[in-house]
Each structure stands twice: as C-alpha cells, then as structure tokens.
A and B are shown apart, each in its own frame.
Chain A
C-alpha cells in the first residue's frame, strides 16, 4: 500500500513568489495535516483538512493557505514568499479524526528554499 506522497521533493523560489505544494494521502484516509519544520526546529502545525473542509489552522499568517480536493489530496499554497519560509513542509494523513487521537502518517516532505 502506498504511503503519503508529496511533490515536488525540492522547490526553489524567489522572495515574493508563490509556492504550491501537493500531497496525496494514504488510500482511505480523509484527514490531511500540514506541518512546517524549519532547520533545527521542531514541527509546527500549519493546517488540518478533513472531508474537504479546513478544520483547524496553526499560528501562521493568512498567506499560508490550502485546500483539500474530493479525492482527499491536498495543496498547500504559500503566497508572497519570505526568506523565513524556507523549511521542510510535511504532509500527514490519518483516518477521520474523532478526537480520540488518531495515528498520523507522514510523507517525505517538500524542501522549500526561498532565495
């Protein structure tokens, strides 16, 4: 069974541009989570999508946005890129979160570099 897949694996953008990152969840998983991991730091929660709806978002500015498609895949968009946005962006998926603490499985990440 295929795991969570993310594309591209690496992305280089110029400050001020927009970046689009993509994620395909494990088959049967309806929840998708996005995390940012800056160099030397832990994972910071960005966004949670379930059944096509944004359910929760972390403490990030509105230029970080995304969506979930009917097939449960997801996009993360980062507008007006800043140098500080350079990080590993991780997507995870899980079965529908019922507040019981569902195991989340991560993809390999997209390394975004802003120059």
Chain B
C-alpha cells in the first residue's frame, strides 16, 4: 500500500528558531495536506496543496508541493511554545484508496522557551 515517509520523527528546538519537516513517497499524489495535532485532540488542517510546485503560506507556516508530486515540506518560522504538537502530512489517492487520506507517522515538535 501507499506509504509516506515523514521526517524527522521528533525535533527539540528553542523558541524563535525556524523548523523544517518533510514527507516523501514513492507514489505520485495530487493533493498534499498538513495537519497539527495537540495531545488528546483531533488533527487541525494547517495547509492544503493541490498543484505541483505550489508554495502556500498560512501565517508563520509555509508548505510546498514538490514538483515531482512525490514530496512536500512544511516550514515554521520563528517558533513559539504553542507550536508544540505532532505534525502530520497526508495525501489523497485514487483508485482503491478513493476517499481515503493516508497519513505520515508524524513529527513531534517540542519548543523550549
């Protein structure tokens, strides 16, 4: 089945630092999504990407849809303590996976004040 390789698995950074995480796949996808999940809560959609090469920003967050359609990255600039959480990439696939979001394993972000 489809697999997303998300890295790094965890990050420990100082407040104010920039953060970068990425997702790669051996398959081509037409939609990449980035979610953030706080402990005990459901994931919250941060950014949606629909076009190869697309670069989209949402406040301090910037995400890009790779030109090969096999990868995506998420950057967070000037991190703050509330950025703590688990960040997931997700993709939509067609065929037998129609309607199914496939998630990466997540990046655990810790921000030290």
Instruction: Mark A residues whose CB is within 8 Å of B.
Output: 4, 6, 31, 33, 35, 41-43, 45, 48, 50, 55-56, 58, 88, 90, 92, 97, 99-109, 111
CB distance from B84 to the nearest CB of A (A): 17
Asked if B88 and A42 make an inter-chain contact with CB atoms under 8 angstroms apart, the answer reads yes
Q: Which residue of B lies closest to A48 (CB)?
A: B99
10 tightest A-B contacts by CB?
A101-B31, A106-B42, A101-B92, A48-B99, A43-B103, A45-B100, A42-B105, A42-B103, A97-B99, A56-B99
Which residues of chain A come closer than 8 Å to B45, judged between CB atoms?
103-106
User: Is the Cβ of A48 less than 8 Å from the Cβ of B88?
Assistant: no
- Chain B 39-75: CB-based contact to A (< 8 A → 1; otherwise 0): 0111111001010000000000000000000000000
Does B24 touch A at the CB level, under 8 Å?
Answer: no
Q: Chain B: how many interface residues by the 8 Å CB criterion?
A: 26
Once the chains bind, are A103 and B33 in contact (CB under 8 Å)? yes
* Contact present for B98 and A99 (CB under 8 Å): yes
Residues of B within 8 A of A (CB): 30-31, 33, 35, 40-45, 48, 50, 88, 92, 94, 96-106
Closest Cβ neighbor of B100 among chain A residues: A45
Nearest neighbor of B104 in chain A, beta-carbon distance: A42
Shortest Cβ distance from A45 into B: residue:
B100
Q: A88 to B41, alpha carbons, bound, how many Å?
A: 9
Tell me the complex Cα distance, A49–B33, Å. Answer: 20
Instruction: Give complex CA distance A31, B98 in Å.
Output: 12
In the complex, how many angstroms separate the beta carbon of A79 from the nearest chain B beta carbon? 23
* Of B31, B100, B103, the contact of A56 (CB 8 Å cutoff): B100
- With a cutoff of 8 Å between Cβ atoms, the chain B residues found around residue A31 in the complex are 99
CB–CB B94/A108 < 8 A: no
> Known contacts A33-B99, A42-B103, A58-B100; is A101 also within 8 Å of B30 by CB?
yes
Q: Please list 30 pairs of residues, one from A and one from B, whose beta carbons are closer than 8 Å in the complex, sorted by A's number.
A: A31-B99, A35-B101, A41-B105, A42-B104, A43-B43, A43-B88, A45-B102, A48-B99, A48-B100, A50-B99, A55-B98, A56-B96, A56-B97, A56-B99, A58-B100, A90-B43, A92-B42, A99-B94, A99-B98, A100-B30, A100-B50, A101-B48, A103-B45, A104-B33, A104-B101, A105-B45, A106-B35, A106-B43, A106-B45, A109-B42
